[in-house]
C-alpha cells in the first residue's frame, strides 16, 4: 500500500473531504489527475489540486465552492472551473475530448470519459488519474504508462501530433524536464526539435507564447531551461531574440549571494524577465507587459531598469558607482544592472 494523503496539508485535506462528500451525494466519479498524481508519486512536498469529473464538472465546482464558502471562476468554453478557498486553488475539469481546428489554435472540446480525457494530455506522466475515494496510490488509472516513465525519469508525448496541436507544450516540456531533472524520451526529443525547426511556436498567439514563457521564468532554474530550449533549436522570440545567457548565469550567482547575505525580498522571475526582454523595443515591451498583466509596481520596476541601465553602465563597467538601496532603486533593478555590466559578485556597497 502506498499512502498519499499525508502529502496534502490541512486545508487541502478539508477541500478533498468536501469534494468526496459531494461526489458521493451526486453519484459522480471524481479523480485526482495530471500533475497532482505525478507529484504524489514523486513525493514532492508541494502538491497542487487538479480534479476531473465524469459528468458535470462545472456544477460540481460550483457546489464545492458553495459548501466551502469560497469563490469559483467558470471557463465554460473549456468545461473547466477554478475554486478558490482559504488561500488554496483547485482546478476542476469535466472529462473531455479535444480537437484542434488548426496547429497552435485553442482546442474545441466535447464531453468524454476519463480515458479519452487522459489521452488528450501533454505527457504520459501527466496522463494518470486516481479515484478521489482511493485509499492509496495502487488504485491509479494509468493507460499510457506514465508510472513507468516516472520511474525512468523521462518525459514522453502521447502522440506524434502533440507539439503541432499545442506548441506551448514545447515550453512546458522543458519546464518539467528542468524542474524534475528528467530527460526527453528519444522520439519526443526528435519531435520537439522538428517542431521548433518548423516554427511551431511562432504559430501561436504572442500572448500565449509570453504567458507560457513567463511560467518558465518562475522556475528555480530558468537559465537551465533556456539552455534546454536552445539545444532543441529554439531561436528565441522573433522580436527579442535569445536571452543573454552569460548575463543569466551572472543573475544566478548574484541572486544566490543576495539570499545568502539576507539582503531582503525580491522577485527572481522579474530579474530573469528583464534579461530576456533586454533587446525589445519600448513599444514591443509594452505589449508584453499587457500580455502578462503586470501591475503598476512591477511595471515601474521594468521601466526603471530600462531607464537606468544606460545611465549606470559606464560607471558599473568601471567598477565605480556605489549603488544604494536608499536611493530607491528596487533590488531587481540592482541585480539586473550588475549582471548586464559584467558583475557576478555582489559589491559591498549594495
* Residue range 208-244, pLDDT digits in tens: 999 999 999 999 999 999 999 999 999 999 888 999 9
pLDDT at 5 over 90: no
Mean pLDDT score, 257-269: 92
Mean pLDDT score, 84-92: 96
**pLDDT value, residue 263:** 85
Most confident by average pLDDT, 130-134, 182-186, 201-205: 182-186
Percent of the chain, pLDDT > 70? Answer: 96
In the chain, CATH 1.20.58 sits at 236-340
| Rounded Cα gap, residues 252 and 34, in angstroms | 30
**pLDDT value, residue 188:** 98
- The predicted model scores a pTM of 0.90
- Of 135-139, 160-164, 188-192, 318-322, the one with minimum mean pLDDT is 318-322
By CB neighbour count within 10 A (0-12 exposed, 13-18 middle, 19+ buried), where does 143 fall?
middle
C-alpha grid cell, residue 342: 559584467
In the chain, CATH 3.30.460.10 sits at 1-150
pLDDT at 104 over 90: no
Please give the CATH architecture assigned to the domain spanning 1-150.
2-Layer Sandwich (3.30)
**pLDDT value, residue 315:** 76
User: Are 44 and 20 a contacting pair, CB within 8 Å?
Assistant: no
Q: Is 241 left (phi over 0), alpha (psi -120 to 50) or beta?
A: left
Mean pLDDT score, 117-123: 96
Q: Does domain 236-340 have CATH number 2.60.120?
A: no
**pLDDT value, residue 325:** 45
Mean pLDDT score, 251-269: 94
Amino acid at each position: 500500500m502506498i499512502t498519499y494523503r499525508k502529502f496534502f496539508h490541512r486545508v487541502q485535506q478539508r477541500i478533498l473531504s468536501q469534494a468526496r462528500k459531494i461526489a458521493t451525494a451526486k453519484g459522480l466519479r471524481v479523480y485526482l489527475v495530471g500533475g497532482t498524481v505525478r507529484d504524489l508519486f514523486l513525493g514532492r512536498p508541494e502538491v497542487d489540486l487538479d480534479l476531473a469529473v465524469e459528468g458535470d464538472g462545472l456544477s460540481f465546482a460550483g457546489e464545492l465552492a458553495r459548501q466551502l464558502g469560497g469563490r469559483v471562476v467558470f471557463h465554460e468554453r473549456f468545461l473547466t472551473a477554478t475554486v478558490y478557498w482559504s488561500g488554496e486553488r483547485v482546478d476542476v475539469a469535466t472529462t473531455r475530448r479535444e480537437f484542434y481546428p488548426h496547429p497552435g489554435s485553442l482546442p474545441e472540446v466535447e464531453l468524454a470519459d476519463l480515458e479519452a480525457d487522459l489521452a488528450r494530455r501533454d505527457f504520459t506522466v501527466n496522463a494518470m488519474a486516481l479515484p478521489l475515494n482511493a485509499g492509496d496510490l495502487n488504485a491509479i488509472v494509468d493507460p499510457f504508462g506514465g508510472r513507468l516513465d516516472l520511474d525512468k525519469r523521462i518525459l514522453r508525448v502521447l502522440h506524434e501530433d502533440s507539439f503541432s496541436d499545442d506548441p506551448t507544450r514545447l515550453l512546458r516540456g522543458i519546464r518539467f524536464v528542468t524542474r524534475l531533472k528528467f530527460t526527453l524520451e528519444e522520439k519526443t526529443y526528435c519531435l520537439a526539435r522538428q517542431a521548433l525547426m518548423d516554427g511551431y511556436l511562432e504559430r501561436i498567439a504572442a500572448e500565449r507564447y509570453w504567458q507560457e514563457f513567463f511560467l518558465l521564468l518562475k522556475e528555480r532554474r530558468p537559465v537551465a531551461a533556456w539552455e534546454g530550449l536552445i539545444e532543441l533549436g529554439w531561436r528565441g522570440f522573433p522580436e527579442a531574440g535569445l536571452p543573454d545567457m552569460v548575463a543569466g548565469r551572472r543573475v544566478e550567482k548574484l541572486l544566490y549571494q543576495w539570499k545568502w547575505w539576507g539582503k531582503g525580498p525580491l522577485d527572481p522571475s522579474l530579474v530573469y524577465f528583464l534579461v530576456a526582454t533586454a533587446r525589445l523595443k519600448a513599444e514591443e515591451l509594452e505589449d508584453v507587459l499587457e500580455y502578462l498583466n503586470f501591475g503598476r509596481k512591477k511595471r515601474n520596476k521594468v521601466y526603471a531598469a530600462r531607464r537606468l541601465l544606460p545611465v549606470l553602465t559606464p560607471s558599473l563597467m568601471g567598477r565605480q558607482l556605489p549603488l544604494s538601496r536608499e536611493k530607491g532603486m528596487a533590488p531587481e533593478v540592482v541585480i539586473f544592472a550588475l549582471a548586464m555590466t559584467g558583475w557576478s559578485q555582489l559589491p559591498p556597497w549594495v
